[in-house]
């Protein structure tokens, strides 16, 4: 599925659209700044598949610091049958650059 940019994600959040938001960064990064995503560090994504199973056909947006780890998380989820996974392009760095100057 096509990735998502910060403008589209912010619009979806503002409209309270129905999707799952997952932060694949580490707990310390999440505590420092986050946009409300459920924290599942990249190394634990596969361990949480059973919990995420209910969202297998829902839109899922994954994010990290720059978009690299979340790109990996997207591939992991897709390889396990998740059908609507999107990576936040540019990650939190792009979000901060766009909305927190």
So what's the pLDDT on residue 23? 98
22-77 per-position pLDDT tens digit: 999 999 999 999 999 999 999 999 999 999 999 999 999 999 999 999 999 999 99
pTM for the model stands at 0.96
DSSP string of 75-96?
A: HHHHHTT--EEEEBTTHHHHHH
- Measured distance CA(98)–CA(15) in Å, rounded: 18
The alpha carbon of residue 85 and the mean position of all alpha carbons in its chain are separated, in whole angstroms, by 8
Best CATH choice for the domain 6-99 from the list 3.30.565.10, 3.40.190.10, 3.40.718.10, 3.40.250.10: 3.40.250.10
So what's the pLDDT on residue 7? 98
């Amino acid at each position: 599925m096509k990735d998502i940019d910060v403008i589209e994600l912010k619009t979806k959040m503002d409209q309270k659209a129905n999707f799952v938001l997952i932060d694949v960064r580490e707990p310390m990064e999440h505590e420092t700044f986050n946009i409300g995503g459920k924290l599942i560090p990249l190394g634990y994504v596969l361990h949480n598949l059973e919990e995420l199973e209910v969202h297998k056909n829902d839109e899922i947006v994954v994010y990290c610091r720059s978009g690299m780890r979340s790109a990996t998380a997207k591939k992991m989820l897709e390889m396990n049958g998740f059908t609507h996974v999107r990576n936040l392009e540019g990650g939190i760095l792009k979000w901060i650059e766009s909305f927190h100057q």
